[in-house]
Amino acid sequence: MWDREVDLLVIGSGAGGMTAALVAAQEGLKVLLCEKTSLIGGTTATSGGTIWVPGSNQSKLTARPDKVDEARVYLDGEVGKYGAPELREAFYAAGAPALDYLEKHSEVKFKANNPYPDYHPDRPGGALGGRALTPQAFDGRKLGEDFKLLRPPMPEFMVLGGLMVGRDEIKYFIRPWSSFKAFTLTTRLLWNHLRDRLRHSRGTRLLLGNSLVARLLYSVRRKGVEIAVNAKMIELVKNKSTVEGAVIELNGQKQRIRALRGVVLATGGCAASAKWRAETVKDAPLPNVLAFEGDTGDGLDAAAAIGGDIDRNHESPFFWMPASRMPWPNGRVGTYPHIRDRPKPGLIAVNAAGKRFVNESNSYQDFVAGMFRSHKTVPTIPAYLICDRSFIHDYGIGVIHPVWQWLPSFVKAGYLKSGRTLAELAEKIGVDAKGLAASVEDHNRAAVTGEDKAFGKGSTVMNRHNGDPAVTPNPNLRPIAKGPFFALAVYPAPIGSSIGLRTDADAQVLDAQGKPIGGLYACGNDMSSIMRGCYPGPGITLGPALVFAYRAAMHAAGKALAQPRMAA
């Protein structure tokens, strides 16, 4: 009946799947990790790589260590009305131990940043830093031939044919002659990149999500985990109430693989599935997707087919990012996530009436929520980011980098619209000219006083953290003063799914009656998110992915963690 046998079968190679495989192998299990594409890493590899885990020992190295009790207050206020408190308690209980376990037994290492605020740090329990942890940089040369298996970052996040530049290094890299530090740092980066390109297709200095996946890949290889690429799950094999294995199509050949300790679903959720998006999001065009193209709901569909329950009680079925589309000369259309440009001073977002509809410096999830709200009454998909030439020079916009730029090429490609006057720009993008002129006038008055009475831009710690401290009196406000003026269209783009398989505290998939399906686990975006479609802070998808993958693997290994007590 079976073509082969393993202890644990893991489907998917993002942060959740790789962590489950790593922990299981460390606990002595024979593990097979299956990835349906030819490259490892999924959405994790192209992400920022940040994880949100309260109360970690890494945070104790910062000026203000984080406390789980404060995080509990914060999440109760953010997501509590959508239920699942037992899963949040499981997350708190296993968060720090999971990171300590990875630190001890692998090359997966994180550092806490302070400040690195939650997305609503002014609310009760919100933190200014310590909860969001970033993976440490990794030398891709250590992977050897496996470096070719690593899914690269988005091309728009690299320069000079594959060089990754850190968040804190960008300001030096774009102005290399501004100081001695900028010059030496840029020279070192360029020299090392030139050396890398003599032997590799891109730079081997890995950061962000690419570093996290590389560290996981390096570690699972050293634990003896077998990795199969081009290995797609066809179906789960269930005997009565227990999953015994799965049918995998490996390089075009079907194999029935028995899994003595269980199957872990970590296929990335359903954000890239047109079918799932159409079923869950009504009356809104969604041409852009920032999740990995392979996140098509394989795990959800397979589990549902044998009785797994899909949990839909979420504020939003997906996590969102405003994104623009750039048609490059080589025929590739790049989808760019607007994270860094929106909070900077001198930019507003408007709908078809030319009116602002949101605080542009809020989180990407909050920004898109504002788009959906406004779109109910005024066309807001797409929305348009409006700025002047000085803004693009100082901060860039979308795929256009600061300082070093040739705007006519982006205008010719249709990515950027320009106008000598606001009225000319409004005509080109099809928004109300009077409304746009009034919005810019109101914004410019707010920039002088430092107070945005309409939406409170710059009034929160998170806003100010992402603004420009050199701009006063408000780091998020600067006049849009002198033509030519520019507009860039942005659309809602799912970066991951929140809805997913209902599980217990050990990531066991539950049926419609709330009973565990033996031998079946789900983590990452295949698991119904404990954030319930809300976005409390950076890394709230990857943090739970690692923690519940750890719980799943320990349970499969017969070393289930103590069930957490419910908070009073």
Query: Is 493:289 a contact under the CB 8 Å cutoff?
Result: yes
- Spell out a b/e string for 371-390, using b for 16 or more CB atoms within 10 Å of the CB, else e: bbebbeebebbbbbbbbbee
147 CB contacts (<8 Å, ≥6 apart)? 140, 141, 200, 204
The CATH class that applies to domain 4-136+209-272+498-556 reads: alpha beta
Distance CA 353, CA 324 (A): 20
Distance CA 16, CA 22 (A): 10
Residue with tokens 């969102």: 320
Distance CA 161, CA 179 (A): 25
Distance CA 448, CA 484 (A): 21
**Level-2 CATH architecture, domain 318-494:** Alpha-Beta Complex (3.90)
- Reduced to 3 DSSP states, what percent helix, strand and coil does the chain have, rounded to the nearest 5? 35, 20, 45
Distance CA 47, CA 52 (A): 14
Distance CA 18, CA 545 (A): 10
Q: What are the pLDDT tens digits along the chain (568 aa)? A: 899 999 999 999 999 999 999 999 999 999 999 999 999 999 999 999 999 999 999 999 888 899 999 999 999 999 999 989 999 999 999 999 999 999 999 999 999 988 899 999 999 999 999 999 999 999 999 999 999 999 998 877 766 667 667 667 677 667 777 787 877 877 877 777 777 777 777 888 899 999 999 999 999 999 999 999 999 999 999 998 899 999 999 988 999 999 999 999 999 999 999 999 988 887 776 778 999 999 999 999 999 999 999 999 999 999 999 999 999 998 989 999 999 999 999 999 999 999 999 999 999 999 999 999 999 999 999 999 999 999 999 999 999 988 777 899 999 999 999 999 999 999 999 999 999 999 999 999 999 999 999 999 999 999 999 999 999 999 999 999 999 999 999 999 999 999 999 999 999 999 999 999 999 999 999 999 999 999 999 999 999 999 999 999 999 999 978 777 765 5
Query: Is 407:414 a contact under the CB 8 Å cutoff?
Result: no
Q: Are strands 31-34 and 226-228 parallel, antiparallel or unpaired?
A: parallel
**Cα separations (Å) of 350 from 380, 397, 437?**
8, 16, 11
pLDDT on residue 59: 94
Distance CA 438, CA 443 (A): 8
pLDDT on residue 158: 66
Residue with tokens 């899914």: 151
Q: Residue type for 489, please?
A: A
| Alpha helices by DSSP H, 130-236 | 170-173, 180-197, 208-222
Distance CA 208, CA 153 (A): 9
SS3 for 263?
Answer: strand
Q: Residue type for 11, please?
A: I
397 strand-pairing partners? 400
Q: Which two tokens stand for residue 324?
A: 């623009």
What residues does each domain of the chain span?
A: 4-136+209-272+498-556, 138-208, 318-494
Distance CA 449, CA 473 (A): 7
Q: Are strands 132-135 and 51-52 parallel, antiparallel or unpaired?
A: antiparallel
pLDDT on residue 161: 65
**Cα separations (Å) of 294 from 37, 226, 269, 425?**
8, 21, 9, 38
Q: Which two tokens stand for residue 280?
A: 């869950």
Distance CA 312, CA 316 (A): 9
pLDDT on residue 159: 67
Q: Quick one: DSSP state of residue 403?
A: S
**Cα separations (Å) of 61 from 130, 225, 350?**
9, 33, 42
Closest CA to 56 of 108, 124, 120: 108
SS3 for 111?
Answer: strand
* DSSP H helix total and E strand total for the chain: 16, 21
Closest CA to 134 of 175, 93, 99: 99
pLDDT on residue 567: 59
Distance CA 377, CA 492 (A): 17
Which DSSP string do the residues of 442-475 spell out, in sequence order?
HHHHHHHHT--TTT-TT-SHHHHHTS-TTSSS-T
How many angstroms from the chain centroid is the CA of residue 239? 36
Q: Quick one: DSSP state of residue 362?
A: S
Query: Is 215:108 a contact under the CB 8 Å cutoff?
Result: yes
pLDDT on residue 169: 66
Residue with tokens 């999953």: 243
Query: Is 359:477 a contact under the CB 8 Å cutoff?
Result: no
Using CA of residue 122, residue 127, residue 131, residue 135, what is the dihedral sign? positive
Query: Is 429:487 a contact under the CB 8 Å cutoff?
Result: yes
Distance CA 136, CA 418 (A): 40
pLDDT on residue 568: 55
Distance CA 213, CA 51 (A): 13
Query: Is 245:9 a contact under the CB 8 Å cutoff?
Result: yes
Give me the phi and psi of 535, to 5 degrees please: -135, 80
